[in-house]
Amino acid sequence: MGCPYEGLDVDYDRVARITSDLLDMGCYEVSLGDTIGTGNFSAFYKMAEALEQGGVDFDVLAAHFHDTYGQALPNILVALESGFRTVDTSVGGLGGCPYAKGASGNAATEDLLWALKGSEFEPAIDLDAVAETGAWICDKLGRSNASKCSTALAAKRPASA
């Protein structure tokens, strides 16, 4: 969807061909990423259409979206609704892409867990424990927590004495 080498003009038919080739070679899963975080759900649908036309089964695909423009969570939700069953996230939205200037962190696990509450995709994961872990690791790393959910949950916790 966005590439540090090809820019925003990614050839989705080529993505589908390479994905199909990798699966034919024996890969059990192919992770497709928005490396620089510039993609939106419209770009995802275009990529998904090329993959579908190329005969790629979505249940063997994973999605990895950076959140540079705040589109990682919407892209993940569209990917799940399209049939992807594996997505990458990180607590506190930590991460990034060192070779793509300006690319920010990944989708925050806490935000995805909140978005999936009550849906068919809701996992059996303790959101509060994940949020506390995200806050802890961000503090230890001296990084700000990019999770909106974690920030909201922290505001509701009683202040420690």
- Known catalytic residues are 97
Cα–Cα dist 15/47, whole Å: 8
Return the SS3 of 127.
helix
Radius of gyration of the chain (CA): 17
Task: Produce one character per residue of 19-46: b if its CB has 16 or more CB atoms within 10 Å, e if not.
Answer: beeebeeeeeebebbbbbbbbbbebbee
3-state SS track over 22-57:
HHHCCCCCEEEEECCCCCCHHHHHHHHHHHHHCCCC
CA distance 11 to 6: 9
